[in-house]
Structure 1
Amino acid sequence: MKYIGLLCCYTAMLFGQNQYPKDYFRSPLDIPLQLSGNFGELRPNHFHSGFDFKTQKKEGFKVYAVAEGYVSRIKIAENGYGKAVYITHPNGYTSVYGHLQSGFGEVEKLIKSSQYQAKSYEIDVTFSPTELVVKKEDVIGLTGNTGGSDGPHLHFEIRDTTTEKIINPMYFGFDSVITDSKRPILNSLFVYPLDQNSIVNQSKRPIAVSVSQQADGSYIAEKVLATGKIGFGITTFDYDDVSWNANGIFRVQTSLNGKADFKYKFDTFSFDETRYVNALIDYGRYKKLGQRVQKLYTENPYPLSIIQSGNTNGIISVSANMTQNYKIEIADFSENLTRVFIPIEYSTLTSKVNEVPITSKYLVKTNKENVFSLENVTVSIPANTFLKDFYMDFEVKNGLLHLHDDVEPAFANMAITFEDSVSSEKDRKKMFIGSIDGKKIYYYNTKRYKNSFTVYSKYLGDYKLFKDSMPPKIKIDKKIGGKWISQQNELLFTISDDLSGIKSYEGMLNGNWILLEYEPKTKKLIHHFSDGIVAEGKNDLKVVVTDNVGNSTIFETQFFRSQKP
């Protein structure tokens, strides 16, 4: 069993500001720790809030309480962290364990009792300090692949209990186990013209800059010829010594002519600000090409606490008779450094690549509410939803709303309303607004008032009013009707819905509610006979699955089972 350290103290009052205890927590696993994702890593719509520990592509490894404390929260969800256990420790921190296959021992009993009490698979329950106390090294769960997980692993976090801010686990001694002696790698460098008068390397659009790596590991960029205001962006990643896959970096610092200019560091942040990952990156490029360019400037400042910048916000003004030297320093947690040196020179060369022409007449002003209407559609955009003004493509054709391409990040909900004056009342009860991405339709929770349908969304793109009159499908994986199934330990179903999606599911055995665990990735519903609801002999089973507009399918059968050894 691998330890990060020995217990040394019990209260956060012993620690000075930002002096985290490095020998208080043990490893949550007793297998070698390898990362498939690190703290602050750039993810869709969020910064990664902890560590993802690899579990050898398998489920079922024991998960240990990293220190003494009590189970303060259990959250079970079909997405997100899946099955997650929270332990609050007496030193002022809370540890989080996500994507579990199940709890273990008393923790699993608490999960099941909470689910049966709520009559729901999905629960979010908090507990007092005396309800379930755990000791350091107690097994509290088994690793799994539940929720929004792409493969078996353990998601692990450390939070400040009072503020609920997430803290980089490296500060707590994990850097002694996940060693790193390798410099971060610069993958690409971009330069951005930032106003109408800016030209960079004869382009009025963002452009890649060639770099050459030196013998000492640093990079020297080709000379940037520019005029006006410009900014830089990078794609970068880091390898540690034990994980063998690329992860995010820890810190970026820029300087102009030797003076510190712009900096961000993935040390701690709150969940309220994590969506600002879409402001830190070149969101439009990411949505078009899947490439996350980290911008080293802010045109319109936003409240992301990891950023520190001076008066220029990382923006460089290039004017006549001026040569400037720009430096980027990229670091991992172990302070392995990669430096990028960029010479900048004023240039009067004209642009060969002009800005993308504006074809829309709909200007979104970020500092005011914007309301646009066409045919039967109205879109209301609150003030400060976007970080900058832009001309928005807005078109309604054959019932399809085209609300620009999803290349501008939104940070508040837009209200999208469709009026329908032609459908019957019966049909309206089965209607919803969905977004369209290629051939895929995404259901949005739709509010209806008479013939008006409204959704709230943070995404630009295509929307349409749909009608769903088809009920969900239920298929039992092994036929049990009229059979004795004494050797079977579970009931397994596959459920699906072709349009609006599954909203709820409920199972009854002999009139008693039973827990059905749902895994959307596999579309599987499972009930374990170990829950103790199944009766000796004859059992009547009923499963009801309902979609998001109220269509339901009922599956009923009868089977026999003996619980005797």
Structure 2
Amino acid sequence: MKGGTMITRLNYCFSLVLFLFFTLPARSQDKYPQHYFINPLDIPISLAGTFGEIRSNHFHTGLDIRTDSREGLPVHAAAAGYVCRINVSPYGYGHALYIRHPNGFVTVYGHLSRYNAQIAAYVKNKQYELQKFAVDLYPKPDEFTVNKGDTVAFSGSTGGAEGPHLHFEIRDDKTEDPLNPFLFDYSVADGIAPVIAGISFYPLNDSSDVNGSHNPVYMKTVIKANGYALSCPGGEVEACGCVGIGIRTYDLARGSENRNGPYSEVLTDGTDTLYYQRMDRLSFASIRYVNGHVDYAAFKKMHETFEHSFLQDNDKLDIYRKLTNRGIIRFSKGVVHHLKYAVSDFQGNCSTMQFDVRSATAPASIFHDTVKYRGTINWKKAFDYRYRGMAIHIPAGAVFGNLRFNCSAEADSQRTICPVYHVLNEYIPLNTSYTLKLAIPASLPDSLLRRAVVVQMEGSKISAVGGVYDSGSITAHPKTFGNFSVMLDLTRPIIKPVNIYKDKDMSRTAAIELQISDNLSGIAAYNAYIDGRWILMEFNPKKDIISYTFDNHVTSGRHHLKVVVADNVGNTNIYEADFTR
């Protein structure tokens, strides 16, 4: 990129930031103490993920700090305090640790491979006491006090991590809201401005259109001397009526190909700020509203993230700093709107994009929907509907705007025991789950009905939603719309030994490993016993492996292993083997 281009873009961004600083509440260094927290690792901070980055169904609530593709790096307490929570889960943060600090903040460390010796012993004792691998523990304030810099754990890739890294958060202790760690004077070496990869346009009612289309319009961008520009066939965008704008943008860091999230996004129309979002604070109570903040259909169909620079009716996110008319633009009377985006990372690197949209004097056409709908969902109210053995209840606030409702049914397939119901489609976002009740044949014996499970069917993919059977029907709580039916799960879970067999000598083996899986309803529970005594087996869902690392619970000699695995409808399988140690 030419130097003049960067200077032009930075000058514009600097002017915009000054304007927003003096017209909006700015972040306060008194509110977020500087130089209080230290780097939790011994290596410079390099990011694999940023605060506020958009993930599936949620925003990322911390920093993902790279560990050079290694596990086992010492993780240090970012400041003095005490361990207030320890969570062990096969999912999410995996092995996680929470430290409460006297200044009103809590730091969180996730995807750990293990805890330090003292904490690890405490956790293991609790796991044996509860006879559970997954535990959520809350030690007393005086049990594990730490000083700044103490080694509390070691980095890893447990839980939902796709590779080794440390997930690091700072939370407000009173509200539990995650805060952007960069507000606390953390920094990274970064001289790369965010990328603006695409722009989207959304006609918002039946008399709105963009370039004659009533559907969303997606355009790519090109880089020019003065910033990004639209790669637009015909060279012009024309719109009529109420239209929302969206942006596909991401941030790059030196030495990494990760597409991280930017810190702020601003859309202006001439001298007016239409939309300004900034990633300072998030709330777990509203985090699933991300599904309405993004173009959910594009996310699911094209695997691309377009963020709306306007608000849907039911949007309760706390990331918006300034809005004019909810970010919605009304195009009329041939007026040309001079629109400009400015996208920045926290280090102040900024990219801009200017584009004009001409107002059409009249809509190209009025959209007439010829589909016969069965009702309308008012997003503010609960919606109930019954149809051919299906009953649906959508709670108030579950959808992001008023929605025309439709459903249909087709005959049972060879695999299902009731019709396949089509409920809207999988590309419509939801903020929360709803209730789906499906009638199933009373002629089936109770022993089979107890093995019934609601499934979602999208093409050849079948996934279990769950459900509880009662009085001729099964009730489930899906989090998406789509195609649903009921299947019977009559197959026991599979237990496949990985490194053990009958009468094996395990003296030189560090652990016992078995692979467990289920064909439909999913694994509900597993337990393992050696010589009749429960043993702790960790579960790695990425590999479907359960493993017991030999310790003082097993002495030298001959032993008997028994593993019991149950699925979510009660099918059970048992694996047994003798071994020596």
Q: What is the TM-score with the length of structure 2 in the denominator?
A: 0.89
- The answer as to whether partners of 2:452 and 2:469 remain within 8 angstroms in 1 is no
Question: Letter of the aligned partner of 1:188 in structure 2?
Answer: G
Q: Counterpart of 1:32?
A: 44
Across the aligned residues of Structure 1 and Structure 2, the Cα RMSD in angstroms comes to: 2.1
CA distance in 1, matches of 2:303, 2:222: 24
- Indicate conservation of the 8 Å contact 2:433/2:479, yes or no: yes
1:195 is matched with which residue: 188, 205, 223? Answer: 205
What residue number does 2:196 align with?
186
Pairwise CA distance, 1:461: 1.0
Which of 68, 74, 83 is the matching residue for 2:80? Answer: 68
Query: Residue 356 and residue 520 in structure 1: after superposition, are their counterparts in 2 closer, same or farther (change >3 A)?
Result: farther
- 392, 399, 404: which is aligned to 1:386? 399
| Equivalent position SS for 1:174 | coil
Moved more, 361-370 or 509-518: 361-370
Alignment partners' CA distance in 1, 2:323 and 2:498? 62
Specify which of 386, 407, 412 is matched with residue 427 of structure 2.
Answer: 407
Q: What CA distance in whole angstroms lies between the structure 2 residues aligned with 1:255 and 1:492?
A: 58
The code of the aligned residue for 1:508 comes to Y
- Is residue 2:122 matched to residue 1:101? no
Written as runs of structure 1 = structure 2, the 5 A alignment for 1:417-436 is: 417-420=437-440, 421-436=442-457
Task: Label 1:214 to 1:273 Cα distance change in 2 as closer, same or farther (>3 A).
Answer: same
* Aligned-partner Cα distance in 1 for 2:77–2:135: 21
1:483 CA drift (Å) = 3.8
Question: Is 1:252 aligned to 2:265, yes or no?
Answer: yes
Which residue, out of 134, 137, 140, partners 1:122? 134
SS at match of 2:466: coil
The 3 A distance-change label for structure 1 pair 346 and 483 is closer
SS at match of 2:90: coil
Pair 1:44 & 2:56 matched: yes
Deviations 1:353-375 (A, max 9, x none): 96775354443332332222222
List per-residue Cα deviations over 1:380-439 (Å, max 9, x = no partner).
112222122222341121221111211111123211111122311110111111222333
Distance 1:210 1:57, change over 3 A: closer
Q: 1:205, 1:354 within 8 Å by CA — same for their partners in 2?
A: no
For 1:446 and 1:253, the matched residues in 2 are separated by 44
Which SS does the other structure have where 1:129 is aligned? coil
Query: Does residue 463 in structure 1 map to residue 473 in structure 2?
Result: no
Q: Is the 8 A contact 1:205 1:353 kept in 2?
A: no
Query: Is the CA contact 2:206–2:367 (under 8 Å) kept in the aligned structure 1?
Result: no
Q: Match for residue 217 of structure 1?
A: 227
SS of residue paired to 1:117: helix
Which moved further from structure 2: 394-403 or 200-209?
Answer: 200-209
Shift of 1:113: 1.5
Shift of 1:129: 1.3
CA distance in 2 between partners of 1:381 and 1:301 (Å): 14
Q: Secondary structure at the match of 1:142?
A: strand
Change in 2 beyond 3 A, CA 1:437/1:33 = farther
SS of 2:527's equivalent? strand
- Residue 543 of structure 2 is matched in structure 1 by 522
Q: Compared with structure 1, are the counterparts of its residues 269 and 239 closer, same or farther at alpha carbon in structure 2 (3 Å cutoff)? A: same
How many percent of aligned residue pairs carry the same amino acid? 32
Q: Which residue of 1 aligns with 2:526?
A: 505
Trace 1:40-439 onto structure 2 (pairs within 5 A).
Answer: 40-175=52-187, 178-209=188-219, 211-219=221-229, 222-348=235-361, 351=364, 358=371, 360-397=373-410, 398=412, 399-420=419-440, 421-439=442-460
The answer on whether the counterparts of 2:313 and 2:400 sit within 8 Å (CA) in structure 1 is: yes
Distance 2:500 2:357 in 1: 72
Give the stretch that moved more between structures: 288-297 or 373-382. Answer: 373-382
TM-superposed CA distance for 1:481, in Å, is 2.6
Q: CA deviation at 1:459?
A: 0.6
1:176-224, Cα deviation, whole Å (9 max, x unpaired) = xx12222211101112211111122222222134655332435468543
Report the Cα distance in structure 1 between the residues aligned to 2:92 and 2:543, rounded to whole angstroms.
Answer: 16
| Post-superposition offset of 1:136 | 2.0
1:557 aligns with 2:567: no
Specify the code of the residue in structure 2 equivalent to 1:83: H
Residues 1:207 and 1:215: Cα distance change in structure 2 (over 3 Å)? same
Report the Cα offset of residue 308 of structure 1. Answer: 3.0
Q: Distance in 2 between matches of 1:146 and 1:32?
A: 22
Letter paired with 1:402: H
Deviations 1:487-522 (A, max 9, x none): 222111111111111110001122221101011110
Report the counterpart of residue 4 of structure 2 in structure 1.
Answer: none
* Contact 1:543–1:555, Cα closer than 8 Å, also in 2: yes
Question: Is the alpha carbon distance of 1:301 and 1:496 closer, same or farther for their aligned partners in structure 2, counting shifts above 3 Å?
Answer: closer
Shift of 1:49: 0.6
Q: In terms of mean alpha carbon deviation, does 294-303 or 423-432 score higher?
A: 294-303
1:18 CA displacement: 5.6
SS at match of 2:327: coil
Contact 2:85 2:97 in 1 (8 A): yes
| 2:19 paired residue number | none
Secondary structure, counterpart of 1:444 in structure 2: strand
Q: Per the alignment, in what secondary structure is the counterpart of residue 218 of structure 2?
A: strand
Q: Distance in 2 between matches of 1:240 and 1:517?
A: 35
In structure 1, what is the Cα distance between the partners aligned to 2:209 and 2:186? 46
Structure 2: which amino acid aligns with 1:423?
Answer: L
Contact 2:204/2:243, CA 8 A, preserved across alignment: yes
SS of the aligned residue for 2:45 comes to coil
Letter in 2 for 1:193: P
Relative to structure 1, the CA distance from residue 247 to residue 543 in structure 2 (aligned partners, 3 Å threshold; closer, same or farther) is same
Mapped partners of 1:382, 1:244: distance in 2:
41
Change in CA separation of 1:365 and 1:538 when aligned onto 2, cut-off 3 Å: same
Cα distance change on mapping 1:309 and 1:301 into 2, 3 Å: farther
Checking the alignment, whether the CA contact within 8 Å between 1:203 and 1:353 is kept in structure 2 is: no
Give secondary structure in 1 for the equivalent of 2:301: helix
Q: Is the 8 A contact 2:207 2:365 kept in 1?
A: no
CA distance in 1, matches of 2:221, 2:148: 50
Q: Distance in 1 between matches of 2:490 and 2:109?
A: 40
What are the Cα deviations for residues 253-282 of structure 1, in whole angstroms up to 9, with x where unaligned?
122230222111111111111111111111
> What is the CA–CA distance in structure 1 between the aligned matches of 2:375 and 2:28, rounded to whole Å?
53
Contact 1:377 1:396 (8 Å CA) reproduced: no
What letter matches 2:472 in structure 1?
Answer: N
Query: Equivalents in 2 of 1:443, 1:491: separation in Å?
Result: 30
How many Å separate the matches in 2 of 1:482 and 1:426? 37
TM-superposed CA distance for 1:122, in Å, is 0.5
The answer to whether the 8 A contact 2:296-2:429 is kept is yes
